Amino acid sequence: MTEPSFHWPHGFEPRSARLYLRNSRLIRAAPESIWSWLVRAPRWHSWFPNATNVEILDGGTELTMGTHFRWTQTGITLDSTVREYVAHRRLAWYASSPFIKAYHAWDMSPQADGVLVVTDETQRGVLPMLMGRILKPRMLSIHERWLEGLEEQATTGCAP
């Protein structure tokens, strides 16, 4: 199995970030199905309650390369821009607020018995600096719920 090699922006590499998180899950669904739920960000709240008020500011209903979107996660409003986009394989965005700067990346790798979905996130800023030890287990749990929700949706087929 090959480890994902995300294209981390300068300063957001896992070794230099204040906070680094990795979660993964083998999802027994077609890559197209998983991808369809992941890129339809305005629908995230229906299966991942931590993501609310998702608005694609460029118009449209799906994330694609360069998409600018705003959303709230766990009470923090984030301005985000998609920086990596390889259909059915890789999606990543930069997110910022006055308290945090983050890079969140997703990798999908087909396996014999499903698709290994890996989600990595690095964070910088005052919030991870002051509360990183408290945030890390909480964020790992949140990302695990995100993967669980993605799996539940993807096994039903592609997003409408």
Q: Does residue 11 lie in a domain region?
A: no
- Nearest alpha-carbon partner for 44 in 125, 109, 104: 104
Cα distance between residue 25 and residue 66, in whole Å: 27
Q: Which domain holds residue 66?
A: 19-87+94-153
Give the whole-angstrom CA distance, residue 131 versus residue 139: 12
The predicted pLDDT at position 126 comes to 81
Q: ∠ CA(95), CA(97), CA(101), 5° rounding?
A: 50
| Tens digits of residue pLDDT in 90-124 | 999 999 999 999 999 999 999 999 999 999 999 98
Question: Among 154, 82, 85, 142, which Cα is nearest to 116's?
Answer: 154
In 3D space, the residue among 141, 137, 159 whose CA is nearest the CA of residue 46 turns out to be: 159
- CATH number of the domain encompassing residue 24: 3.30.530.20
- For residue 98, is it within any domain? yes
Task: Look at residue 8 and tell me if it is in a domain.
Answer: no
- Number of domains making up the chain: 1
Give the mean pLDDT of the chain. 93
User: Does any domain span residue 134?
Assistant: yes
